[in-house]
Structure 1
Amino acid sequence: MTEITRHDAGASRPTEQELSQETLMPAVDIHEENDAIHIVADMPGVTRDSLVIEVDNGVMRLEGEVRITMPEGLSPLYAEVRAQRYARRFTLSHEIDSEAISARIDNGVVHLTLPRRDTHRRRRIEVQAA
């Protein structure tokens, strides 16, 4: 029988609790332009099917889940890859048109576009000469 040994202190079999999901806050970049706010969230391993984006009462909830399945009949000796959950919330200002928010995911990177309402877009006022 081949044995796999961990080289760090306290080597032991992982417990069910250790293999359970942990919740992480995804790293985000937020960019602004005149007509929208753009959010890019890093959520490695999250797929379109496990991604949830909801807006309720001015709060946008961004959640995703990475699912790890253990092959049937096997028990883990050592596991660093774990199922995990990403969760982050954003309070939206009144200038955001929450009905027009769009999202796409590409290789675990979520791109959100939060359009500003027309009344909150910056505009230049033309000055008339007297």
Structure 2
Amino acid sequence: MNDIQKTNDTARTPAHTEDRRYAESSLTPPVDVIEDSSGITLYADLPGVPRDKLHLNVEADSLTIEGEIDLTIPEGLQTSHTEVGLGRFHRVFTLSKELDTEKISAELAQGVLKLRIPKAEHAQPRRINVQVS
């Protein structure tokens, strides 16, 4: 069973001005989602995003990943070709009720965000002992 779904990012109405800025013109970071018996792990590629410009938010059943990089050109230099003109990343996922959003852990290393979201205790597999009478 897949415990996370990608939502249509453009269909969401952001709550405040800063969120609207991300949704209007941003890159969609590629994300790998790996599920195991105890939860899911997301790996999001966010090259150049520093920790202080990374924003993670869980509201109800939605997980939002937002990040910003500084694409300033050093003084005295001029670009002759630019492939990445946007400095913002934005991605929204809908989370399953089986996931425990209170226990999310996040790590950012070498441009990759790793989010671990465990399954809620009621959704964890458990062994049932059979008694002989």
TM-score, structure 2 normalization: 0.72
Tell me, yes or no, if the aligned pair for 1:66 and 1:84 is still in contact at 8 Å.
yes
Q: What is the aligned partner in structure 2 of residue 86 from structure 1?
A: 89
Q: What is the aligned partner in structure 1 of residue 71 from structure 2?
A: 68
RMSD: 2.0
Give distance in 2, aligned partners of 1:90 and 1:28.
Answer: 11
Q: Which amino acid aligns with 2:99?
A: I
After superposition, where does 1:111-126 map in structure 2 within 5 Å? 111-126=114-129
TM-score, structure 1 normalization: 0.74
Cα deviation per residue 1:63-121 (whole Å; 9 max; x = unaligned)? 1111112234x363524153421111111111111111110100110000001111110
Tell me, yes or no, if the aligned pair for 1:67 and 1:83 is still in contact at 8 Å.
no
What percent identity do the matched residue pairs reach?
39
Q: Residues 119, 44 of structure 1: CA spacing in aligned structure 2 closer, same or farther, 3 A cutoff?
A: same
Q: What is the aligned partner in structure 1 of residue 59 from structure 2?
A: 56
The answer on 1:33 being equivalent to 2:36 is yes
Which of 35, 42, 46 aligns to 1:43? It is 46
Give distance in 2, aligned partners of 1:26 and 1:107.
Answer: 15
Q: Which runs of 5+ in 1 are unaligned?
A: 1-20
The answer on 1:105 being equivalent to 2:108 is yes
Q: What is the aligned partner in structure 2 of residue 15 from structure 1?
A: none
Q: What is the aligned partner in structure 2 of residue 5 from structure 1?
A: none
Give distance in 2, aligned partners of 1:71 and 1:77.
Answer: 10
Give distance in 2, aligned partners of 1:22 and 1:94.
Answer: 30
Q: Which amino acid aligns with 2:101?
A: S
Cα deviation per residue 1:25-45 (whole Å; 9 max; x = unaligned)? 111111112222100111111
Is the radius of gyration larger for structure 1 or structure 2? 1
Q: Which runs of 5+ in 2 are unaligned?
A: 1-23
Give distance in 2, aligned partners of 1:29 and 1:87.
Answer: 15
